[in-house]
Chain A
């Protein structure tokens, strides 16, 4: 989520440290920061990657401010969730509206406010600037006010034009219900959506017409326009699973759905309503007729008990009672302490704190993981069991000794017994039933590139060890491009290698081959050119003496040079070399390579007693 530093500053008396310092504080104690952008001379924006378990309270400026307050140990000027909540003043008037929730497991709360006579228009500069700083478009003062409150404290809200709703005996009715089979809605941006089963709608209860996809997006029919005079503002809470399923089915992911799918506290709507009503009164005027609050079941907040000892044992650092008390205070987690046991009652918005281990994390990260000294594990008792691994690796070593090259290929195949429901590549919808086809294809390609990696008298032979999937089940297979009869354990290629057999192989006394690897050298994507050259030299001339002449004259386009034939006759010896030319940058022409070969030939011929054949 994009967080404006200027916006955060409103939460603090003292000036905050630089954006970089804030990013660092959050990175090591709370959340990863994707980017820090300077958006204006006064403001910087942090893109905070809020973790899934904190999306309920930290997809908001207030949430991030609260984190920073704990991390930096600087108090908040005021906390909207602890400030006075004047809901009682708002209720009990004649509202002219009723709200009905069909299924209170899907809509946990609905707070609706009726305001008459607002003046819809552009937002004031402070509001426009605040939204634009975090990448939101300013729409009009009413919509902007609801968006501002969402970004400020994390509660998605929506405003409807109540003049477009059907009135019965002077009363409006909002009904929150499941979408009917085949029901459609046109959303604010104009697209029409057919609602999936289980989706929840905000409807005009008197007209039985959908006016919004609950928790996801508002509908076109009752949207706020320049002519809007009377409005209903909604601050509700919906079941996260329902919202998530609907958003996925519609492929419609919004700021609202992102928040609701993480089950923010149903306490939030009241605070959001308080804040938005104040802003609307300030910037759009109108008269607040009243607020209706349907809240069938308030959740119970359970206390969590923990001791300094259990946390110390989990983290592996020594924390004192004072450390715990300090962290809980900084995080604003109310606690009591008795005989060394801390009983913490998390505030309503911290829905993530449920078990003692959650508090261990809070202590660990606020005290700082950089202060957790690393400790090696105590020596293990007994011998670690790596037998199956050793058995599998032993077979690989045997094949490498026989000249085989190990390759790794893709597990997806055009055909097979096990079919993917959601393949990435539609031409390969199955899991490979055997390794044979991939290996045959790899061998064809290996033959083409063999001169680059193998000597002229070597032929590529490949093998792969990997899981295959057949009707009978999944098993680890070994496949070679050639049979190796003398490998007694598995004479038949591609047969299943039993797990017990692998373990037995691994138990024996032997050592796995170890290799060092040098830095990776990328291969050229351009074709190579082959040339052979044979050279008479006086008997007794070492081949190691002749090869550097070739390499030097051939220059940097020579990729490799191998001796492939030697014979002696009449006091002379003939060395035949295969030269492979290749460029990293382009396709080489025959003429170009011929010119190099002429250069090599004349250089060799210039040596006394040497003659290119």
Chain B
């Protein structure tokens, strides 16, 4: 029987998961339909604050009530998974954790070749005792990630930015050799103490970085895809638009155990 095909996002996510696994990151999931608390408020977006304008949000008519919360927004980022994971940490008493959160997110904006109302985001965080996980570590983590994912000549630079949930906040640019250009890849920074407090952690004892960026954008750069709308079109011609082959020694398991 002939083999089928995996979607390129699946293939890329596996490769990314493996790189982050080697740096000690697990993988976390959370709901796409979120509460205002996890998507905004716990992440230090005050109600009616202009920072919320940065993310055009889809709301649903009647909030879906679960035991603990009313879910009424389609998550605009998978940072909502980060805060849920930090909360778990507070409950379990862990003092360090590293996770990536790949998942679908939604933005209510007109679609074109570079904008989709739904796309995948790769968020993540690493926390530990103060001084153990720093902005310099964020740089080091991304330098390694891009070197392994984009090529050994990839470089990373930071520019100042603003996100309510990080302080300081930075934009992460990657040098992409084939294009001879710096490309804006994701945002990041040191988790804001309010976020840690909202998760039930003590910001004097636990600190760390968080980051997030679009997955499609990364693939578009790496593989030369010109239209983001192809990803979730359900079109098999897109899935077959790449030469693909199984690669080398499949070391996934070994690496996660090392």
* 1/0 contact string of A439-473 vs chain B (CB within 8 Å): 10110011001101111001011101011010001
Are B32 and A420 in touch, CB under 8 angstroms? no
Q: Say whether A84 faces chain B, with CB atoms less than 8 Å apart.
A: no
Are A449 and B167 in touch, CB under 8 angstroms? no
Which of A31, A449, A515 is within 8 Å of B244, CB to CB? A515
Which residues of chain A have C-beta atoms less than 8 A from B50's C-beta? Answer: 52, 55, 240, 244, 261-262
| Complex alpha-carbon distance, A399 and B2, angstroms | 11
| A342-400 interface (Cβ within 8 A of B) | 355, 357-358, 360-361, 364-365, 369-370, 372-381, 383-386, 388-390, 393, 396-397, 399-400
Which residues of chain B have C-beta atoms less than 8 A from A262's C-beta? Answer: 50
Are B232 and A383 in touch, CB under 8 angstroms? no
Which of A54, A360, A380 is within 8 Å of B24, CB to CB? A380
Q: Which residue of A lies closest to B238 (CB)?
A: A523
Which residues of chain A have C-beta atoms less than 8 A from B244's C-beta? Answer: 515-518
Are B246 and A514 in touch, CB under 8 angstroms? yes
**Knowing A516-B247, A519-B223 touch, does A422 contact B235 (C-beta < 8 A)?**
no
Q: How near does chain A come to B218, taking the closest CB pair, in angstroms?
A: 12
Which residues of chain B have C-beta atoms less than 8 A from A410's C-beta? Answer: 118, 232, 234
Which residues of chain A have C-beta atoms less than 8 A from B245's C-beta? Answer: 515-516
Are A522 and B250 in touch, CB under 8 angstroms? no
Excluding A27-B159, A384-B21, A386-B27, 7 further A-B contacts by CB distance (< 8 Å) are: A30-B160, A364-B168, A386-B21, A419-B61, A442-B235, A515-B247, A522-B226
Which residues of chain A have C-beta atoms less than 8 A from B247's C-beta? Answer: 514-516
Q: Which residue of B lies closest to A354 (CB)?
A: B167
Are A377 and B168 in touch, CB under 8 angstroms? no
Are B243 and A517 in touch, CB under 8 angstroms? yes
Which residues of chain A have C-beta atoms less than 8 A from B133's C-beta? Answer: 377
Which of the segments A171-179, A310-318, A322-330, A603-611 contacts the partner chain?
Answer: A310-318
Are B136 and A514 in touch, CB under 8 angstroms? no
Could you jot down 10 A-B contacts, CB within 8 Å?
A317-B136, A357-B190, A374-B140, A384-B25, A418-B64, A422-B58, A452-B237, A455-B2, A467-B31, A514-B248
Q: Say whether A404 faces chain B, with CB atoms less than 8 Å apart.
A: yes
Q: Say whether B66 faces chain A, with CB atoms less than 8 Å apart.
A: yes
Which residues of chain B have C-beta atoms less than 8 A from A438's C-beta? Answer: 234
Q: Which residue of B lies closest to A404 (CB)?
A: B4
Are A409 and B232 in touch, CB under 8 angstroms? yes
Are B3 and A401 in touch, CB under 8 angstroms? yes
Are A400 and B3 in touch, CB under 8 angstroms? yes
Are A388 and B240 in touch, CB under 8 angstroms? no
Which of A52, A357, A399, A510 is within 8 Å of B167, CB to CB? A357
**Knowing A375-B139, A393-B10 touch, does A29 contact B160 (C-beta < 8 A)?**
yes
Are B237 and A449 in touch, CB under 8 angstroms? yes
Q: Say whether A424 faces chain B, with CB atoms less than 8 Å apart.
A: yes
| Complex alpha-carbon distance, A467 and B102, angstroms | 13
* 1/0 contact string of A243-256 vs chain B (CB within 8 Å): 01100000000000
| Majority SS at the chain B contact face | mixed
Which of B4, B20, B21 is within 8 Å of A403, CB to CB? B4
| B58-95 interface (Cβ within 8 A of A) | 58-62, 64, 66, 71, 74
Interface residues of A (CB under 8 A from B): 27-32, 51-55, 240-241, 244-245, 261-262, 310, 313-317, 355, 357-358, 360-361, 364-365, 369-370, 372-381, 383-386, 388-390, 393, 396-397, 399-412, 418-424, 431, 438-439, 441-442, 445-446, 449-450, 452-455, 458, 460-462, 464, 466-467, 469, 473-474, 509-523
* 1/0 contact string of B202-239 vs chain A (CB within 8 Å): 00000100000000000000011110000111111111
Q: Which residue of B lies closest to A468 (CB)?
A: B32
Are B236 and A407 in touch, CB under 8 angstroms? yes
Which residues of chain A have C-beta atoms less than 8 A from B237's C-beta? Answer: 449, 452-453, 523
Which residues of chain B have C-beta atoms less than 8 A from A55's C-beta? Answer: 50
Which residues of chain A have C-beta atoms less than 8 A from B42's C-beta? Answer: none
Q: Which residue of B lies closest to A388 (CB)?
A: B29
Q: How near does chain A come to B238, taking the closest CB pair, in angstroms?
A: 7
Q: Which residue of A lies closest to B257 (CB)?
A: A383
Are A511 and B251 in touch, CB under 8 angstroms? yes
Q: How near does chain B come to A322, taking the closest CB pair, in angstroms?
A: 20
Which residues of chain A have C-beta atoms less than 8 A from B27's C-beta? Answer: 384-386, 388-389
Which of A374, A375, A521 is within 8 Å of B156, CB to CB? A374
Q: How near does chain A come to B181, taking the closest CB pair, in angstroms?
A: 15
Q: Which residue of B lies closest to A32 (CB)?
A: B159
**Knowing A262-B50, A422-B108 touch, does A521 contact B241 (C-beta < 8 A)?**
yes
**Knowing A361-B168, A384-B24, A449-B237 touch, does A245 contact B48 (C-beta < 8 A)?**
yes
Which of B71, B168, B241 is within 8 Å of A520, CB to CB? B241
Which of A317, A380, A510, A520 is within 8 Å of B224, CB to CB? A520
Which residues of chain B have C-beta atoms less than 8 A from A454's C-beta? Answer: 2
Are A424 and B236 in touch, CB under 8 angstroms? no
Which residues of chain B have C-beta atoms less than 8 A from A31's C-beta? Answer: 160
Which residues of chain A have C-beta atoms less than 8 A from B10's C-beta? Answer: 393, 396, 406
Which residues of chain A have C-beta atoms less than 8 A from B61's C-beta? Answer: 419-421
| Complex alpha-carbon distance, A404 and B256, angstroms | 28
Q: Which residue of B lies closest to A53 (CB)?
A: B162
Q: How near does chain B come to A261, taking the closest CB pair, in angstroms?
A: 5
Which residues of chain A have C-beta atoms less than 8 A from B156's C-beta? Answer: 374
Are A355 and B253 in touch, CB under 8 angstroms? no
Which residues of chain B have C-beta atoms less than 8 A from A310's C-beta? Answer: 130
